[in-house]
Amino acid sequence: MSGGGRPEVSVPHAPDLRPAIVAIRWHSDIVDQMLRRALEAAERAGAQQPRVVRVPGSMELPVVCQQLTHDCDAVVALGVVVRGGTPHFDYVCESVTSGLTRVALDESTAVGNGVLTVDSREQATLRAGFDDSIEDKGFEATAAALETALVLRELRGGYSNERGFL
């Protein structure tokens, strides 16, 4: 698993941001935990209550995230893709990652990628922000998306260059 060199997660002070979180229905026990942690990050940042949208699976994340960028300052995608015995895993992971990147660039909006791409459910639970997890990707993706939204706002001249962190 990754994680080496990861900076400490800081939550920006973002009281006026409008976030959205899109979560898949697959692996609901894991994704629901990631969603709880994403909502916690938004609450700590003081952001507006995030709009939460559920989608069938990971392939649907990019198009729904793109639609949400029209009304939101930051969008977070949450999902879990577990490797199987076919190349399907590779196609899904590549499509979702490329799609989310394209949304961020095409819409000039912060998109947090909280899609876990793992070899097993056990690896996913270790990254999902449970009490015994070693990572907290829902929380981290949300904090990163909110901070990026503030950076974009600053670069566009709409915000002070003194971003505060909680």
pLDDT of residue 85: 77
- Tens of pLDDT, residue by residue, the chain (166 residues): 455 666 778 899 999 999 999 999 999 999 999 999 999 999 999 999 999 999 999 999 999 999 999 999 999 999 999 998 788 899 999 999 999 999 999 999 999 999 999 999 999 999 999 999 999 999 999 999 999 999 999 999 965 555 555 5
- Is 69 a member of any domain? yes
Burial of 163 (0-12, 13-18, 19+ CB in 10 A): middle
pLDDT of residue 33: 98
pLDDT of residue 163: 54
Beta strands in the chain (DSSP E): 19-24, 51-55, 74-82, 110-118
- Is 52 a member of any domain? yes
77 three-class SS: strand
Q: Name residues whose C-beta falls within 8 Å of residue 6's C-beta, 6 or more positions apart in sequence.
A: none
The span from the first CA to the last CA of the chain, in angstroms, equals: 28
108 marked among binding-site residues: no
Specify the number of domains making up the chain.
1
* CATH code (residue 96): 3.40.50.960
Q: Each residue of 91-123: b (16+ CB within 10 Å) or e?
A: ebbeebbebbeebbeebebbbbbbbbbbeeeeb
Could you tell me the residue range of the domain that residue 26 belongs to? 19-154
Alpha carbon 50 to its chain's center = 12
58 marked among binding-site residues: yes
Of 13, 27, 70, 88, the catalytic one is 88
34 marked among binding-site residues: no
- Is 55 a member of any domain? yes
pLDDT of residue 8: 78
| Cα–Cα distance, 29 to 163 (Å, whole number) | 35
Q: List the alpha helices (DSSP H) in 27-87.
A: 28-45, 61-68
85 marked among binding-site residues: yes
| Cα–Cα distance, 103 to 16 (Å, whole number) | 22
Active site residue 27: no
- Other beta carbons less than 10 A from residue 130's beta carbon: 16
